[in-house]
Amino acid sequence: MKNIKSVGIIGAGTMGSALAQKLAQENFQIILCDKAIDALERGVNKIELSLQEAVNKKVLDLNKKEKIKKRIIPSTHFEDLKNVDLIIEAVFENFEVKTKLFKEISSVVNPDTIIATNTSSFSVTELSQYVSNPERFIGLHYFYHAAKNRLVEIIPGNWTSQEVFKSVYYFSLKSGKDPIVTQDTYGFVVNRFFVPWLNESVRIYEEGIATPEQIDAVAMKCFGISMGPFALMNATGVSVAYHAEKTLEAFGVIYRVANLLKKQAESKQDWEIEIFEDVDKRTEEIISKRLLGVVFFVVTQILHEKVCSPTDLNKGAKIGLKWKKGPVEMMKRMSLDKVNNMIKDYALLYKEPPITIEPSYLKLEWITSKIIGSVGYIIFNRPEELNALNEEVFKQLENCLIFFNLHKAIDTIILTATGKAFIAGADIKFFIQNIENNQIDKIVEFTRYAHSILHQVDSSPKRIIAVLNGLTLGGGLELALCADEIYALPNVVMAFPETGIGIYPGLGGTQRTQKRIGKKLTKYLIFTGKHLRTEEASEIHLIDKVISFDEYIRILEGDISNLYPLPIVPIPEKWKEIERKMQNINIDNLNSDTEMEKIIRKKAPLAVKYADLLINDGKGPESEITYLKNIFSSEDALNGLKNIGKNIEYKGR
To 10 degrees, what angle do helices 229-236 and 212-223 make? 100
Check residue 653 and give its pLDDT: 86
Catalytic residue among 153, 200, 213, 384: 153
To 10 degrees, what angle do helices 190-206 and 212-223 make? 140
CA nearest 510: which of 497, 523, 499? Answer: 523
Peptide bond into 541 cis (omega under 30): no
Return phi, psi of residue 451, to 5°: -60, -40
Check residue 588 and give its pLDDT: 86
pTM recorded for the entire structure: 0.93
Element holding 8 (H helix, E strand): strand 6-10
Contact 192, 307 (CB under 8 A): yes
Question: What CA–CA distance (Å, rounded) separates 471 from 424?
Answer: 6
Q: What 3-state class would DSSP assign to 562?
A: coil
Question: What CA–CA distance (Å, rounded) separates 361 from 149?
Answer: 26
Burial class of residue 256, CB neighbours in 10 A (0-12, 13-18, 19+): middle
Active site residue 267: no
Residue 345, phi-psi category: left (phi > 0), alpha (psi -120 to 50), beta (remainder): alpha
Check residue 592 and give its pLDDT: 83
Amino acid at 547: I
Check residue 647 and give its pLDDT: 87
Active site residue 120: yes
Question: What CA–CA distance (Å, rounded) separates 620 from 611?
Answer: 13
Domain ranges across the chain:
6-181, 190-362, 367-642
Q: What 3-state class would DSSP assign to 127?
A: helix
Burial class of residue 283, CB neighbours in 10 A (0-12, 13-18, 19+): middle
Q: What 3-state class would DSSP assign to 440?
A: helix
Question: What CA–CA distance (Å, rounded) separates 196 from 17?
Answer: 27
Q: What 3-state class would DSSP assign to 131?
A: coil
Return the CATH class of domain 190-362: mainly alpha
Element holding 550 (H helix, E strand): helix 549-556
Write down the CATH number for the domain with range 367-642.
3.90.226.10
Catalytic residue among 191, 314, 387, 434: 191
pLDDT in tens, 291-319: 999 999 999 999 999 999 999 999 999 99
Q: What 3-state class would DSSP assign to 495?
A: strand
Terminus-to-terminus CA distance in the chain, angstroms?
58
**What's the Cα-to-Cα distance from 231 to each of 204, 225, 236, 598, rounded to whole Å?**
15, 11, 9, 46
Using the Cα atoms of residue 140, residue 141, residue 146 and residue 149 in order, give the sign of their dihedral: negative
Q: What 3-state class would DSSP assign to 594?
A: coil
Question: What CA–CA distance (Å, rounded) separates 137 from 103?
Answer: 12
Query: What's the Rg (C-alpha) of the chain?
Result: 27
Check residue 589 and give its pLDDT: 85
Catalytic residue among 123, 141, 309, 381: 141
Average confidence (pLDDT) per 10 residues, the chain, 653 residues: 96 95 97 96 95 92 95 96 97 92 94 95 95 97 92 98 98 97 96 97 97 95 94 92 93 96 96 86 96 97 96 96 95 94 95 91 95 98 96 97 96 97 95 96 97 97 97 98 98 97 97 97 97 97 96 96 89 95 88 88 95 96 96 96 90 87
Active site residue 75: no
Catalytic residue among 17, 120, 123, 172: 120
Distance of CA 478 to the CA centre of its chain: 21
Amino acid at 414: I
Q: What angle do CA 197, 201, 205 make, to 5 degrees?
A: 165
In the Cβ-directed half-sphere of 306, how many Cα atoms lie within 13 Å? 0
pLDDT in tens, 614-639: 999 999 999 999 999 999 999 999 99
Write down the CATH number for the domain with range 6-181.
3.40.50.720
Burial class of residue 301, CB neighbours in 10 A (0-12, 13-18, 19+): middle
The dihedral over CA atoms of 563, 564, 568, 571, expressed in degrees to the nearest 10, equals 0
Question: What CA–CA distance (Å, rounded) separates 405 from 401?
Answer: 6
Strand ranges (E), 134-281:
137-142, 151-156, 178-181
